[in-house]
Structure 1
Amino acid sequence: MTHHDPQDLRIDGHLVPVVTAQTVVVGTGSAGYCAADRLVQAGHDDVVMVADKIGAGASRNAGSDKQTYYKLTLSGGDDDSVREMAQTLYSGGAMDGDNALAEAALSARGFLHLVDLGVPFPQNRYGEFIGYKTDHDPRRRATSVGPYTSRTMVEKLEAKVQRDGTRVFDECRVVDVVTVPDPDGGPGARRVAGLLVLRTDVPHDGAASPWLLFRCTNLVYATGGPAGMYATRVFPNGQWGASGAAYRAGVHGKNLTEWQFGLASTKPRWNVSGTYMQVVPRFVSTDADGGDEREFLTEAVPDYGRLLSLVFLKGYQWPFDIRKALDGSSLIDLLVYRETVLRGRRVFLDFRRNPVQDAFDPSALSPEAYAYLEKADVLFGTPVQRLRRMNEPAYQFYLDKNPYVDLEKDMLEVDVCAQHNNGGLVVDAWWQSNVTGFYPVGEAGGAHGVYRPGGAALNSGQVGATRAAQHVAAHGTTPPLDDAAFAAAAGPVLGAALDLTARATGRAAAGVPDNTGDLLREVQVLMSAKAGPVRSAESIHEALVQVHAWLRDYDDLVTADAGSRRAVNRTFLVRDILTSAYVYLSAMADYVAHGGRSRGSVLYTDAAGSLPHVGHGPDAATELDLPEIFRFTLDGGALDEEVQETAWLAPGETAPDGAWAPVVPRDGDDPAGTPVFRWRPRRPLPEDDDFFENVWREFREHGNVL
């Protein structure tokens, strides 16, 4: 393994350190480490890794009560098959069939690789890996090692990568991807040539260069979802994403509208799924100062037993699901949203007292909830007593956090938070994007559809990383550019970064206050308010106009103190977030214009739709007294067979072909760039090719990496 030490190269008069490697993996989460591990395993060891902060990221710092890994059934007598699992994934809508089949086919391989690395997934004494059902899962394919499943995966994969000797460059903010024309890819095609990063551990006004260039043939992009767009999010601090750089480089987007939202504590950030809901805590809201306490769920759900049962169901119907909002458990999410976003109040879970009345009356529960809690032997006491009986680690979890919360003494503040982006950067069957050599894996890649089984994201990250590594090892062997060609390709990218930095720091030197922190907060608050789990054509348009203005004027707007590494870092972070927000808002506007209605984890306001109902039985048709923005019409799977793709056009650039169109007719060369869209049929599930002799012959002669 080479050491990949930086070598200085003169680019447009600037001496810049350059690291040369065949492949660069960006991101040190479970998908990124898996890709690096699999590359070396495949004999492709000319690889380095890049991270903005090794200890940050969702894989290492996020989880839930029982964080799930989804894979093929590996226990018991339940029927299952690769094809059936693929069909389950595919049935979520708008998912490409080749991705679904690959995720099913490689799920056991990815899972058992983690087992061999030491992830302690539970198995019985005969070696069966026992499973359970998760959301959107007809089989018992789910498993878990507790709240930190993904963290354990990261730790074991990281140890393997360290043993391999792969070098990791930490404290690097992604600035831009360097590409060149791809003569083998048709008109306008591009291929990867490198990556420009800002070293956030190097002072900008010091002697050493804060810029670092990577010269490579392949980029495995494991940067996570663009979590920095939202203020109300359960993504951990330090998980920002870097999708904006990919869009500017010409990588397309896919299903960008499809986010997943759910109830989570805000300090600390954690999903309150599973046992936290099944023990039926009390929901209360207060004013901004913690006064005027109200048990607000009873306004919409006055029936005691139904209220308890809906809260219980949130345990394993945790994500906000618009199909369960009319008269089901996702009504809870809407009522919390009304308190926090529309009324400006704060919402808390109170585990110290029972809902509505002091004495818990389990006889009022639905049969499903009663049977579950009876089997758990917790038909008694207060929510925290039930929690400690059912799941003591769930209680201890908040005691170990900073800030810590003692659920026996304190209320837990919650909100409806952005949790995962099912869409992302476009991927093919090998997780390669439309830009040759660029492989988005993990949450950065848009492999999912509208719905997905709980835990499918962890499997998708391992499968995508494995498929990308296989393809790179087989096809990504072209040498990186020589010095002259690389300097020519990287020069404009470096020059633009230097110019933006000079403008931003020049304004600060002239006395204009640093505004990077303000811009970051403003875009996040705007996105949560206008483009979160509840959206309308009007709210999307309002946010789009504002984000477009920020991005259009960014070079003349952003101000950063040259003496502050954090401010210069945020100059590029905010630009990346604004780019992503502009693309995503444009995708939302295009979705509505295409006839899209409420689906997945999003409510799109529809004046001709319905408000949530009182409940079942004779009152089922009676609408609740709720704000009109909660009036919606279900999509009903109308667009399940279509995929929305997004392309970013830089000023002066033309669309790939006539099928692409902007949301608003293009008027000249917009300095902010122009997102354009097309809708295509999703790729079907591939037909079976399972005659052994034919597959064996093809595999012997050509391998399976095509």
Structure 2
Amino acid sequence: MMTDGIDIDAVRGIPVKRYHTIIVGTGAAGYAATDCLYRYGVTDIAIVTEGRTMGTSRNTGSDKQTYYKLTLCGEQQDSVRDMAKTLFSGQCMDGEHALAESALSVKRFLKLADLGVPFPTNRYGEYVGYKTDHDPKQRAASIGPYTSRAMTQALEKAVLAESIPIYDQMQVVQILTDCGVCHGVVCLSLNELEKTQYPFQIFLSEFVIYATGGPAGIYRDSVYPESQHGASGVAFIAGAAGKNLTEWQYGIASVKPRWNVSGSYMQALPRFISVDQDGRDEREFLQDYLKEEDSILEKIFLKGYEWPFDVKKLENGSSLVDMAVYLEIVKNKRRVFLDYTRNPLKEKLDYQRLPKTVFDYLRRVDALYDLPFERLLAMNEPAVQFYRDYGIDLKKDRLEIAVCAQHNNGGLSVDLWWQTNIQGLFAIGEAAGTHGVYRPGGSALNAGQVGAERAALFILRHPDKKNKMSGKILEKQVNVLCEFTDKVMGKQSTVTQIQNSISSNMSEVAAILRKPDDIRRNLERVEWLLKYWKKNIKITSAKELREAFLVRDMLISQRLYLFAMKDYIEQGGKSRGSAVYCQATKDVDSQKNIFNTVYYEADTGEKGNIIQEVYLKNGIPYSRYRLVNPIPEDEEAFEKVWKKYRENGNVY
């Protein structure tokens, strides 16, 4: 086949494959989209993935990982609109996403149950629920620490049974576009790095569903699995806009292995200690920040329920524990550990002096034991076994922790059908920015499943795009990758050093504590590294091409995320969600003070109806602001909806 005189079966010797739709990623969202497309009859599809067993949904979890959906048990009243209002109330969330995620939550949940995910039911068949964070009902469901892993495995089994091609060891490095329309992707073929000069594979397609997860690699202190990097930078280069990039979720997690220490890990009341970089000078440090002993114990306990760091819980709440841990690591340059072998503050707990909330809970779960380890074992033996599987015995070993990035509530901006501003490019899962400042725990797992179905349904009803890609444009975009491959080769490798440096900087200046000058300086440094990439990014072997492209993606992602934070500050943005924006001076009456160190002004929700979007234009970052879209009103009669559904499946 010829296009503008260029044989597109190969470009510069790089092979070309064609499919109707390409799905990028093999997590729960990517597999869900693949399964939906196939069952809808769109079968000319293929998956490309950097590593089939990599990714967040397969390799992460928590004390009790949650799936958030409409209530399916008991007599508590609930409705699609009620759940949509809960999601929408998290601020900066568009109403169409809130409504779709609510309306399809039961369908997607029951699909997973039918595929074998063992969500618990009572003896009558009701799917029992519990209350999670930011949840006024009892909509949460769980199968334990590995809920998302079981989802991924069940969906994978369904996809494998359909014999859909999966191209493994394919790292997406380019989204092919022409005049604002997506025409496929180019991948770095990781199995071909030393076999050919340009080890790429071109996939041409009508549609691309981007399920690459969040930009996990941009932070050093991260609870994302080390195999998860994200590929948001590739989308930004292609022209995709970012939405709510300032809004993240952070919390206390173990460093090795990367795992949330929420729930019973905190309710067992472990001791918080710090040591110097050489492991000496051990001391408990929470009392340096929090003076009241009883208050310290209550705040440790509440971290189990209130795991995400939250500005609203800073003044006298459990998030003071996160801030103390963060300052001890970043400001005092010490390492922090949880110790389950001894009680905090004293050798023996005085249960009669414990806050009533703490005492009543420990008594109710039969955990009134002498030591934190004994309490944890009584409450949640699998939580103890999890670390044993990694060679850590909490009965005798300390657990190193940090305040870690856990989830990006923002991401690529998408419409009602999870399509980005690039026609034909859809973003689902954590790659999509459908959440706001706050979100109920477990809503991310549901959003990934709902986005998968929405994208698949749109593609079913709009199977073809009218315009085709110019062969000259295709060759031009491929040439950019070839030039990068040629120019990064050097005498000394810098990629690991850059990776460590820029991820450390992000964790220290752009996580829960954000100072305007630090944000600006780091943005300037990232821009310098990108501007002079031919000098800065170097490898000595083709084996390192993967890392070179990862560093490129990290730098582009960091540029947009830091720019979003800088712009938010310049527009008068204040501390909210999981981020404290420090004030330059303490001489303001309205500012709140943490530990005589951090001064900030809390957002009161006045900007909760405004969404920030950022994008690259001619290589320069820009921002735009708009009002959130309200929850759509349901005004159409059944007959009108039925007619539209018969004609086109209600897809406009």
Aligned match for 1:344, one of 306, 317, 333:
333
Q: 2:4 maps to which residue? A: none
CA contact (8 A) 2:70 2:83 kept: yes
1:297–1:611: structure 2 CA closer, same or farther, 3 Å change rule?
Answer: farther
Q: 2:421 maps to which residue? A: 434
SS at match of 2:415: coil
1:486–1:162: structure 2 CA closer, same or farther, 3 Å change rule?
Answer: farther
Q: 1:588 maps to which residue? A: 565
1:676 CA drift (Å): 0.3
1:557 CA drift (Å): 2.1
Unmatched 5+ stretches in structure 2: 1-6
- Indicate yes or no: 2:603 matched with 1:605: no
Aligned match for 2:183, one of 193, 199, 223:
193
Aligned match for 1:319, one of 308, 311, 317:
308
1:36-185 correspondence to structure 2 within 5 Å: 36-181=34-179
1:427 CA drift (Å): 0.6
Q: Deviations over 1:288-310 (max 9, x none)?
A: 11111111011122322111110
- Indicate yes or no: 2:517 matched with 1:528: no
CA contact (8 A) 2:418 2:427 kept: yes
Aligned match for 2:609, one of 619, 623, 641:
641
Aligned match for 1:202, one of 192, 209, 231:
192
Aligned match for 1:214, one of 188, 203, 214:
203
CA distance in 2 between counterparts of 1:486 and 1:121 reads 49
SS at match of 2:404: strand
Q: 1:443 maps to which residue? A: 430
CA contact (8 A) 1:202 1:210 kept: yes
1:493–1:311: structure 2 CA closer, same or farther, 3 Å change rule?
Answer: same
1:396-435 correspondence to structure 2 within 5 Å: 396-401=385-390, 404-435=391-422
1:233 CA drift (Å): 0.6
Q: Deviations over 1:343-372 (max 9, x none)?
A: 000000001111111111222222222221
SS at match of 2:283: coil
1:261 CA drift (Å): 0.5
- Indicate yes or no: 2:467 matched with 1:466: no
2:175 partner letter: V
Q: CA RMSD in A?
A: 1.8
Aligned match for 1:255, one of 240, 244, 256:
244
CA distance in 2 between counterparts of 1:705 and 1:400 reads 48
CA distance in 2 between counterparts of 1:691 and 1:367 reads 53
1:624–1:55: structure 2 CA closer, same or farther, 3 Å change rule?
Answer: closer
1:56 partner letter: M
1:678–1:609: structure 2 CA closer, same or farther, 3 Å change rule?
Answer: farther
1:553 partner letter: Y
CA distance in 1 between counterparts of 2:583 and 2:592 reads 18
CA distance in 2 between counterparts of 1:478 and 1:451 reads 36
1:638 CA drift (Å): 1.5
SS at match of 1:501: helix
CA distance in 2 between counterparts of 1:83 and 1:311 reads 35
- Indicate yes or no: 2:393 matched with 1:393: no
Q: 1:617 maps to which residue? A: none
1:546 CA drift (Å): 0.5
Q: 1:3 maps to which residue? A: none
1:227 CA drift (Å): 0.7
1:622 CA drift (Å): 10
Q: Deviations over 1:566-604 (max 9, x none)?
A: x11111111111000001111111100111000000010
1:39–1:624: structure 2 CA closer, same or farther, 3 Å change rule?
Answer: closer
Q: 1:292 maps to which residue? A: 281
Q: 1:9 maps to which residue? A: 9
1:634 CA drift (Å): 0.7
Q: 2:546 maps to which residue? A: 569
1:556 CA drift (Å): 2.9
CA contact (8 A) 2:131 2:140 kept: yes
CA distance in 2 between counterparts of 1:290 and 1:118 reads 46
> TM-score, normalised on structure 2?
0.96
CA distance in 1 between counterparts of 2:556 and 2:648 reads 41
CA contact (8 A) 1:193 1:480 kept: no
CA distance in 2 between counterparts of 1:480 and 1:680 reads 30
1:273 partner letter: S
Unmatched 5+ stretches in structure 1: 1-6, 182-189, 614-620, 651-672
SS at match of 1:581: helix
Structure 1: 4+ residue segments shifted above 3 A: 478-481, 607-613, 621-626
CA distance in 2 between counterparts of 1:373 and 1:237 reads 35
CA distance in 2 between counterparts of 1:86 and 1:622 reads 33
CA distance in 2 between counterparts of 1:584 and 1:137 reads 28
Q: 1:554 maps to which residue? A: 533
> TM-score, normalised on structure 1?
0.89
Q: 2:3 maps to which residue? A: none
CA contact (8 A) 2:611 2:625 kept: yes
1:516 partner letter: V
SS at match of 2:254: strand
Paired residues in the alignment total 646
Identity %, equivalent residues: 46
1:695 CA drift (Å): 2.1
CA contact (8 A) 1:354 1:360 kept: yes
Aligned match for 2:261, one of 251, 261, 272:
272
Q: 1:694 maps to which residue? A: 640
Q: Deviations over 1:209-261 (max 9, x none)?
A: 51100000111000000011111111101100001111111111100000110
Aligned match for 1:626, one of 596, 605, 608:
596
- Indicate yes or no: 2:235 matched with 1:246: yes
- Indicate yes or no: 2:488 matched with 1:497: no
Q: Deviations over 1:166-187 (max 9, x none)?
A: 1111111111111112xxxxxx
1:607 CA drift (Å): 4.2
1:208 CA drift (Å): 7.9
CA contact (8 A) 2:95 2:628 kept: yes
